[in-house]
């Protein structure tokens, strides 16, 4: 490979996204739009839907769901089946060309695809296909999937073609696929990225998160099993399980940060897990303090759990301005810091003269917490103790979470005391890896914790593989 994995991570679009698919006995368009709004938190850069009504039509653009799915182009779409996608990407890789669903025309009909996740063998696959004379229009690994699928469809029926395609892929994917008027979903063999099935009044639906079914007045049916391909119709569904590894590798960060608290993922409610993480944190890393405050919004359930377990009063101590853009993806450190100051401001009466425990879901670079500690001290806090629901993030994610090169991570190679010094906090404590497993009720054999342990559930060049503990 000409580029290292970490270089590739920097340049490649990140598929930290959300997908939905529907098969109804009436028009799907407005429900697809509603469903995408429910999972808007999974990607705010771009959105799109593709529907089938004898032919495949689509709208996909940069922007929020309600901006993209409006106007004459959207009004002109009709069809009883369809798929949708919301896309997150880093600033550098955001461009209209990379929006999804991707649609291609084949001699067995149009094929549309939405993908959440990252393939670890994308560069290898692309190089091989390009050497064989294949051409690509975008830089996404999702295009590789649809090109292979289109090729397979010339020889096999849809399920066989999807199965052969998936056999070429290594890494994380939750896929929604429309082939002519038929709708399919597929989940990677390790279950890294989520996908679940719901029943609505008008038919069946696939979505990244179960909250979609609640808000569309439907019912959660089940998670798509790791390595399963499912076809949905207005009246039912058929699952086809591929043979796969003995263990799964559900991404722990979905529960820690990414998914909505009201979503139930692989049998565990996100809110409940986050609250338990806070409780474990209070037991493992207690603090002598007067008040517990969350970093809004993602630290709330952790802080509540911490307060309940420790008996320290929970208060709102930081006001969040929800109209400020996401600071995490801003390209320069100075801009990220400025963004945090614009986004958060202490509530003085909560913190003045108090020993404050401030709780967040995770620390990556430390930008947010460093700024918050500074603000809390400026607002008169007597002491500031930082507590984090997720164990220290020390290694890159190759499966779709936007955590990049190793030198970005404040926790890599540092003790809690050293991190406290960098944040100017009186103390710092994180939930342990064991504590995380107990909050989730899942063993290490069924979790991807690569960003915490630097041991990966698939073969990543230059990294250790989970359970094998050897450098590949
Ligand atoms: P940092 O400021 O770099 O330490 O990032 C940590 C903050 O960003 C926390 O408040 C998290 O809730 C949030 N966060 C963590 N991971 C991500 C991610 N991959 N994308 C966006 N925000 C994140």
Domain edges within the chain:
5-252, 268-453
What integer pLDDT is reported at residue 95 of this predicted model? 76
Task: Give the dihedral sign, CA 117/119/120/126.
Answer: negative
Calpha distance 457→182 (Å, rounded): 32
Calpha distance 400→62 (Å, rounded): 19
Calpha distance 100→114 (Å, rounded): 6
Atom of ligand 1 nearest to the CA of 299: 12
Task: Give the dihedral sign, CA 215/219/223/228.
Answer: negative
Atom of ligand 1 nearest to the CA of 365: 3
CATH class of 268-453: alpha beta
Q: In this structure, which residue's CA is closest to atom 5 in ligand 1?
A: 364
Calpha distance 354→348 (Å, rounded): 10
Q: Is the peptide bond before 311 cis (omega within 30 degrees of 0)?
A: no
What integer pLDDT is reported at residue 6 of this predicted model? 35
What integer pLDDT is reported at residue 457 of this predicted model? 95
Calculate how far, in angstroms, residue 396's C-alpha sits from the geometric centre of ligand 1. Answer: 13
Is 363 strand, coil or helix?
Answer: coil
Element (H, E) at 298: none
User: With contact defined as beta carbons under 8 Å apart, do 96 and 48 qualify?
Assistant: no
Calculate how far, in angstroms, residue 192's C-alpha sits from the geometric centre of ligand 1. Answer: 19
Calculate how far, in angstroms, residue 365's C-alpha sits from the geometric centre of ligand 1. Answer: 8
Whether 196 is catalytic is no
Catalytic residue among 17, 99, 251, 397, which? 17
Calculate how far, in angstroms, residue 437's C-alpha sits from the geometric centre of ligand 1. Answer: 21
Q: In this structure, which residue's CA is closest to atom 3 in ligand 1?
A: 365
For residue 356, give both structure tokens.
Answer: 């404050």
* Interior/surface letters 201-236, b for 16+ CB within 10 angstroms, e for the rest: ebbbbbbbbbbbbbebebebbebbbbbbbbbbbbee
Atom of ligand 1 nearest to the CA of 408: 3
Work out the end-to-end distance of the chain between its first and last CA atoms, rounded to an integer number of angstroms.
14
Calpha distance 402→116 (Å, rounded): 13
Q: What is the 3-state secondary structure (H, E, C) of 368-402?
A: HHHHHHHHHHHCCCCEEEEEECCCCCCCCCCCCCC
Q: In this structure, which residue's CA is closest to atom 6 in ligand 1?
A: 363
- pTM value? 0.93
What integer pLDDT is reported at residue 94 of this predicted model? 63
Is 283 strand, coil or helix?
Answer: helix
Report which of 93, 134, 109 is spatially closest to residue 55, judged by C-alpha positions: 109
Calculate how far, in angstroms, residue 254's C-alpha sits from the geometric centre of ligand 1. Answer: 13
Calculate how far, in angstroms, residue 328's C-alpha sits from the geometric centre of ligand 1. Answer: 6
Q: In this structure, which residue's CA is closest to atom 18 in ligand 1?
A: 402
Adjacent-strand bridge partners of 48? 60, 85
For residue 270, give both structure tokens.
Answer: 């996100």
Residue 371: CB atoms within 10 A of its CB come to: 20
User: With contact defined as beta carbons under 8 Å apart, do 141 and 87 qualify?
Assistant: no
Atom of ligand 1 nearest to the CA of 366: 4
Q: In this structure, which residue's CA is closest to atom 22 in ligand 1?
A: 328
User: Could you say which of 3.60.10.10, 3.40.50.1820, 3.30.470.20, 3.60.20.10 is the CATH number of the domain covering 5-252?
Assistant: 3.60.20.10
- pLDDT by residue for the chain (472 residues), tens only, comes to 222 333 333 333 345 799 999 999 999 999 999 999 999 999 999 999 999 999 999 999 999 999 999 999 999 999 999 999 999 865 435 677 789 999 999 988 999 999 999 999 999 999 999 999 999 988 889 999 999 999 999 999 999 999 999 999 999 999 999 999 999 999 999 999 999 999 999 999 999 999 999 999 999 999 999 999 999 999 999 999 988 888 999 999 999 999 999 999 999 999 999 999 999 999 999 999 999 999 999 999 999 999 999 999 999 999 999 888 777 766 677 888 888 889 999 999 999 999 999 999 999 999 999 999 999 999 999 999 999 999 999 999 999 887 767 778 999 999 999 999 999 999 999 999 999 999 999 999 999 999 999 999 999 988 999 886 555 5
Pocket test of ligand 1: the residue of 301, 364, 422 to mutate, having most ligand atoms within 8 Å of its CB, is: 364
Q: Where are the beta strands (DSSP E) in 98-252?
A: 102-106, 109-116, 174-179, 182-187, 196-200, 203-207, 219-223, 228-232, 237-241, 250-251
Q: In this structure, which residue's CA is closest to atom 23 in ligand 1?
A: 328
User: With contact defined as beta carbons under 8 Å apart, do 252 and 436 qualify?
Assistant: yes
Calpha distance 32→50 (Å, rounded): 9
Pocket of ligand 1 (CB under 6 A): 257, 295, 298, 328, 360-368, 401-403
Calpha distance 114→119 (Å, rounded): 14
For residue 9, give both structure tokens.
Answer: 């991570």
Calpha distance 29→181 (Å, rounded): 14
Give me the numbers of helices (H) and strands (E) for the chain, helices first please. 17, 26
């Amino acid at each position: 490979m000409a580029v290292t994995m970490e270089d590739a991570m920097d340049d490649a679009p990140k598929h930290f996204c959300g997908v939905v698919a529907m098969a109804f006995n009436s028009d799907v368009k407005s429900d697809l739009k509603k469903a995408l709004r429910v999972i808007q938190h999974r990607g705010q850069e771009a959105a799109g839907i593709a529907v089938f009504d004898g032919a495949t039509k689509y709208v996909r653009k940069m922007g929020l769901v309600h901006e993209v799915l409006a106007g004459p182009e959207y009004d002109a779409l009709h069809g009883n089946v369809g798929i949708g996608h919301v896309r997150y990407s880093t600033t550098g890789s955001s461009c209209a060309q990379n929006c999804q669903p991707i649609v291609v025309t084949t001699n067995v009909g149009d094929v549309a695809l939405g993908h959440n996740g990252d393939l670890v063998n994308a560069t290898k696959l692309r190089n091989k296909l390009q050497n064989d004379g294949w051409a690509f229009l975008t830089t996404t690994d999702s295009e590789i999937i649809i090109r292979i699928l289109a090729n397979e469809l010339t020889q096999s029926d849809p399920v066989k073609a999807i199965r052969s395609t998936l056999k070429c892929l290594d890494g994380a994917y939750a896929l929604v696929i429309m082939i002519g008027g038929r709708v399919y979903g597929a989940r990677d063999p390790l279950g890294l990225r989520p996908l679940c099935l719901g029943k609505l009044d008008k038919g069946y639906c696939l979505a990244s998160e179960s909250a979609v079914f609640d808000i569309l007045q439907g019912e959660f049916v089940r998670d798509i099993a790791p390595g399963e391909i499912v076809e949905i119709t207005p009246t039912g569904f058929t699952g086809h399980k591929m043979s796969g590894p003995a263990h799964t590798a559900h991404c722990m960060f979905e529960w820690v940060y990414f998914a909505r608290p009201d979503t139930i993922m692989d049998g565990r409610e996100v809110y409940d897990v986050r609250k338990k993480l806070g409780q474990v944190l209070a037991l493992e890393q207690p603090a002598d303090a007067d008040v517990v405050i969350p970093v809004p919004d993602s630290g709330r359930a952790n802080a509540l759990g911490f307060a309940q377990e420790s008996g320290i009063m929970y208060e709102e101590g930081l006001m969040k301005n929800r109209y400020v853009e996401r600071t995490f993806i801003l390209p320069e450190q100075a801009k990220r810091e400025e963004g945090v100051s614009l986004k958060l401001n202490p509530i003085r009466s909560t913190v003045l003269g108090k020993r404050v425990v401030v709780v967040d879901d995770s620390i990556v670079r430390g930008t947010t917490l460093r700024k918050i500690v500074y603000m809390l001290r400026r607002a008169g806090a007597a002491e500031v103790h930082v507590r984090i629901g997720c164990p220290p993030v020390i290694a890159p994610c190759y499966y779709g979470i936007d955590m990049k090169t190793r030198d970005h991570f404040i926790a890599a190679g540092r003790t809690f005391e050293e991190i406290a010094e960098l944040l100017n906090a009186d103390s710092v404590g994180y939930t342990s890896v064991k504590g995380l497993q107990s909050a989730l009720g899942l063993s290490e054999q069924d979790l991807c914790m690569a960003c915490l342990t630097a041991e990966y559930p698939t073969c990543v060049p230059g990294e250790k593989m989970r359970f094998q503990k050897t450098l590949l």
